[in-house]
Amino acid sequence: MSSVDFKVEIGGLKLRSPILLASGTVGYGHEIAEFINMNSLGGIVTKSISLKPRKGNPPQRIVETPAGMLNAIGLANVGVEEFIKEKIPFLKKYDVPVICNIAASSVEEYVECTRLLDYEESIKAFEINVSCPNVKEGGLQFGNDLKSVGIVTNKVRAVTKKPLIIKLSPNVSNISDFAQIVKDEGGDAVSAINTLVGTAFNIFTRKPKIKNVNGGLSGPAIKPIALAKVFEIKRKVEIPIIGIGGIMDWKDVVEFMIAGASAIQLGTVNFINPIAADQIKKDLEEYCVSNKIQKISELTGSYILE
């Protein structure tokens, strides 16, 4: 047993560790379970689930960029029904809190998905992915529109008592306005950030490298942006924050927590180093011991501005 207290609390969600695995970067846990100890994770966030299965975008879906990657997976997922039948029973074999991430193309779909999944005991919280096109509003992303984020939060809140986390898009000018509306409409916490919109061209064919043209940028390239977003929310809104974006090692985790995160999620790093979650936990323990930090939660928002 470690002498450091790793417990954290995020808007009513009590976790044994601040290290979570990010949506879309570990599927539903099957493959990553071969590499890490699921029973010591803070939690696993599922690939975004939509009401019906989604095929996703045609290839090419990913391309590497300097210190990062672009992806346009297109929310490929098995849908609510198969998720309940096939994926939840697998996750139940482990002692790991499951945070169910939901994607939708209408407010009604967000509500319906949450309602159907709310009965599942192993789902400890919902994370709502608002970086999805709102089909009824001409494809504008929910996450880029304050009013839509408010409505989604309010309507989903009405159908679940479980902790409700809204995953914010960084592609906005003032992310703290979005965090404020989540709080006002009854959300318990925010995750920040989702990927940044980016693209890349092949200079010989002059075509976009990704079939969908635009993709979401992730990896170390986005870390300074993610930190600034977490910090902005921390300073302006009183709401727990889960920090995400380019975390590769324990130092990045400490940095996110200092900037204001109560917990963090590991994304792209899982592709490169599937044992990262376990390594980071061990390294964090050493950091805490040698810096006389008894509770890791002390780090949250502990920045010093001269």
Ligand X SMILES: Cc1cc2nc3c(=O)[nH]c(=O)nc-3n(C[C@H](O)[C@H](O)[C@H](O)COP(=O)(O)O)c2cc1C
Contacting positions for other proteins (CB under 8 A): 24-27, 30-32, 34-35, 47, 53, 55-64, 66-69, 71, 73, 76, 219-220, 248, 268, 270-275
Tell me which of 100, 113, 132, 288 is the catalytic residue. Answer: 132
Q: Is 288 noted as a catalytic residue in this protein?
A: no
Pairing state between β 196-198 and 123-129: unpaired
Binding-site partner at residue 141 among ligand X, other proteins, none, CB < 5 to 8 Å by type: none
C-alpha–C-alpha distance, residues 13 and 1, integer Å: 23
Shorter beta-carbon distance to other proteins: residue 80 or 152:
80
Closest C-alpha to 157, from 130, 129, 186: 186
Give 3-state DSSP helix, strand, coil % of the chain, rounded to 5: 35, 20, 45
Shorter beta-carbon distance to other proteins: residue 132 or 241:
132
Q: Of 10, 19, 36, 47, which lies in the binding site for ligand X, with binding defined by CB under 6 A? A: 47
In angstroms, what is the minimal distance from the CB of 96 to other proteins?
Answer: 16
167 binds ligand X (CB under 6 A): yes
User: 52 vs 9, 102, 160, 164, 237, CA distance in Å?
Assistant: 32, 12, 20, 22, 35
* Phi, psi dihedral angles at 51 (to 5 degrees): -60, -50
189 binds ligand X (CB under 6 A): no
In angstroms, what is the minimal distance from the CB of 182 to other proteins?
Answer: 28
Binding residues (CB under 6 A) for ligand X: these are 22-25, 47-48, 71, 73, 75, 101, 129, 167, 194-195, 218-219, 222, 244-247, 267-268
User: What amino acid positions are annotated as catalytic residues?
Assistant: 132
